[in-house]
Structure 1
Amino acid sequence: MTRSPDAPGQEYAERCFRSSAGIGGGVLLLALTAWLGGDAMLRGTGNAPWLALAGLLFALPLIVAFTLRPAVWAGEDRLLVRNPFRTITLPWASVEGVRAGYSSEVFAGGKKYQLWAIPVSLKQRKRAARRQARDAAEDVTGRASVTPRPSGPLRAPSDQAIEDLRELAERGASREGAQGSPSVRWAYELFVPSAVGLVLFAALAIAG
């Protein structure tokens, strides 16, 4: 997971949380899909090029939506959550809670919104818990472990990100600019082309 400082031109981007694994996987998937689809369009016969075009129109927006698009921007006044098909703007005063269970979630306006950009890794959480337990045992006994202490944070990255968001929510809730209600904008630019591609692919497949 990456967490970056202020991004120029972003009103809410004092802190930005994104998944490095998601971005890397998305780039690879885009390259592979474009290569396979482009090859089918150039070398295919019959209606294969059109099927490939429809498949690309269906698949590429979905890959972008679920890998490259998710991000969370936390500013002084509000939280901006960009999920695959929605962008949710949450003034801090409307945020009722933030938690990370099996997924990262924010509660606002009586609703729950998932934070796709902050995935929860149970493996990382267990590793951090083991290190915490080891350090606590060393503090009690007053002796250092004979085995080298592994490097790394005492918290899983997702849990640390959620704690950071909680602190920002508590600090920002009373600000004058942090008042208001949640607002949601749908990413029509992604799911409309994907839906068109699906319909076109189905029509071509039926037509033979």
Structure 2
Amino acid sequence: MTTPEHPPTTPEPASKDRVYRSPMGIVGGVALLVIVLWLGIDALVRGEGRTQWLALAALILIVPLVSAFTLRPAVYANEDRLRIRNPLRVIVLPWGRVASLRSGYSNEVVAESGTKYQLWAVPVSLRARKKAARRTARAAAERNAAARGEHRGRGGTGFGGLGIGAPRGDVDADGPLRAETDKVMDDLRELLEHRQNAESAQGEVTVRWAYEVAGPALAGAVLLLILLAVG
């Protein structure tokens, strides 16, 4: 008597994905979608004839694009690969195929072939960088001032003994402060450094177009063009 074979189980990934997204992008996307849906549905309900068709075509075109460029972008990273979900593409890069991670006016990953892929979910904020630099400079100045006050206190001059000039507890002593997106890039670079030569982190780079976004948007655009051409 033979027993039925059990189907093979899918092996669990070595590590769970770290997920990086843009909170401001999500907030902005939700706000835009609320406005677009409100105006579009209002036109569908209150409008007549051609107006309703124009509103429908605009909704089919705009909603997928707004969602793609605000809610969709995400970066997934684990010990084996980096998966980038951009507005219109999904790129999977094993760490063994990543040449570098660059930060300039945008954050991007460079494959061994030289192809660059932008990280839409990790946008660069020059304002946040400047703010972090100012806080770092201020913390360094406070540490220097505290050190000078402590030295005067031990020497019997100044305000020694009164506790004035003591280091503040909220001063960061671990090095320069970093903007949030720069911290994300630091995390990704650390993963790249440790996992680039790992056997499980090898493979081929794959790129898939987001037809689930492009299809509806294209249909909406075609319908809108036909309505405008017909008049």
TM (normalized to structure 1)? 0.88
Aligned to 2:133: 129
Aligned to 1:5: none
Is 1:91–1:180's contact at 8 Å kept on the other side of the alignment? Answer: yes
**Are residues 1:57 and 2:80 paired?**
no
Alignment partner of 2:101: what SS? strand
Equivalent position amino acid for 2:213 in 1:
L
- Structure 1 residues 145 and 181: CA distance shift in structure 2, 3 A: farther
The CA deviation string for residues 117-154 of structure 1, in whole angstroms up to 9 with x for no partner, is 00111111001111112223334442569999689x81
Aligned to 2:87: 84
Alignment partner of 2:142: what SS? helix
Moved over 6 A (4+): 9-12, 145-151
Alignment partner of 2:84: what SS? strand
Aligned to 2:191: 168
- Structure 1 residues 28 and 186: CA distance shift in structure 2, 3 A: same
Q: Quick check: which one's strand share is greater? A: 1
Structure with higher Rg: it is: 2
- Structure 1 residues 60 and 182: CA distance shift in structure 2, 3 A: same
Q: In the alignment, which of 14, 19, 30 is matched to residue 27 of structure 1? A: 30
The 2-side partners of 1:150 and 1:198 are apart by: 54
Aligned to 2:19: 16
**Are residues 1:120 and 2:143 paired?**
no
Equivalent position amino acid for 2:198 in 1:
R
User: Which stretch of structure 1 is more off in the superposition, 134-143 or 27-36?
Assistant: 134-143
The CA deviation string for residues 147-168 of structure 1, in whole angstroms up to 9 with x for no partner, is 99689x8100111111110000
List alignment gaps of at least 5 residues for structure 2: 1-11, 149-164
The aligned runs of 1:57-206 (5 Å cut-off) are 57-108=60-111, 109-141=113-145, 142-143=147-148, 154-206=177-229
The 2-side partners of 1:193 and 1:32 are apart by: 19
The 1-side partners of 2:230 and 2:15 are apart by: 48
Q: In the alignment, which of 32, 37, 41 is matched to residue 38 of structure 1? A: 41
List alignment gaps of at least 5 residues for structure 1: 1-8
% same residue: 53
